[in-house]
A and B are shown apart, each in its own frame.
Chain A
Amino acid sequence: MILNDEHKKALLLLGCPEVPVQTSLAIYISDLLVKSGASVIIAGNNAALELVRTADPAGHYIRDTADLDATIGALSEKRVDADICYVFIHNDAGVSYLATAAALISGEAVGIIFGNDAVTLAQQCDDAGLEHIRARAVHNPKPIISKVNMEVERWAASNS
């Protein structure tokens, strides 16, 4: 897990890959971040990472990947840090990962909330004081894409 110190460091924490939009959202956000000049690590469990790697077999969009548990350990022990961490949330566990990332990194942690329970999960994030964007996207990522575009543009502009 090596990050180029010349670039801003972005970390994507994937959730359980049971909601279809997650994989394409991860590749999409990674591409936006790379184009903004960031180096990107995508962390997830084996299934989530295999979906991402399989969707980008030539590695045009995905550079570095890492095991989710190992990444949490590395963040906790300060061996890894991030300027921005986007946490993919479609269940209660995702909110826990966002709260953990927010506590462990020196940069910003923002939840990307999607799926059928987006409203409830967004409320949980609000209650915990966690930043997020949300849309009820399950199979079709379209409802959340414009919000993702604005969010990455916001972060990139704040760091330019």
Chain B
Amino acid sequence: MGCVEQLNYEILLSKVRFKECSTFISSNFDEYYKIQPGYRMMNVFIIGVPPIYVAVDGDNIIFPYTKPCHGTFVLTISSPEEVKKIKTMGELVK
């Protein structure tokens, strides 16, 4: 198991409640999917309170990432492979 620190990510939202991340993703992106807790995104597993939303913007994937001591972040990473995967495995919401 890896760590998100090994990924080349950008932080869109920092140290907030999980629900705020869900609202941020559903309010700011035109294409987003619902995933189950434990969904694998590169070398990390996504946790959260369902519904967990993951958005797509071109080749970028936008997702919530929770740390026990720091709350939840919304991160974006350029990954055509993960975009392709979420379109197959995720449940399209919008």
Contacts and interface: CB of A to CB of B under 8 A. Distances in A.
A77 B47 CA distance: 13
Nearest to A103: B37
Given A72-B45, A72-B47, A73-B45, A100 B37 contact: yes
Interface string A69-98: 110110111000000000000011111110
Please classify how large the interface on chain A is, using the bins under 10, 10 to 19, 20 to 34, 35 or more.
20 to 34
Contacts, number: 75
Nearest to A14: B68
Interface residues of B, number: 22
11 contacts: A16-B70, A69-B3, A72-B47, A77-B40, A92-B72, A97-B47, A97-B68, A99-B37, A99-B47, A103-B50, A128-B50
The 5 closest A-B pairs by CB, nearest first: A76-B38, A16-B69, A100-B37, A100-B47, A99-B49
Interface of B: 1, 3, 17-18, 36-40, 44-45, 47-50, 66-72
Interface of A: 14-16, 18, 44-45, 48, 67-70, 72-73, 75-77, 91-97, 99-100, 103-104, 124, 128
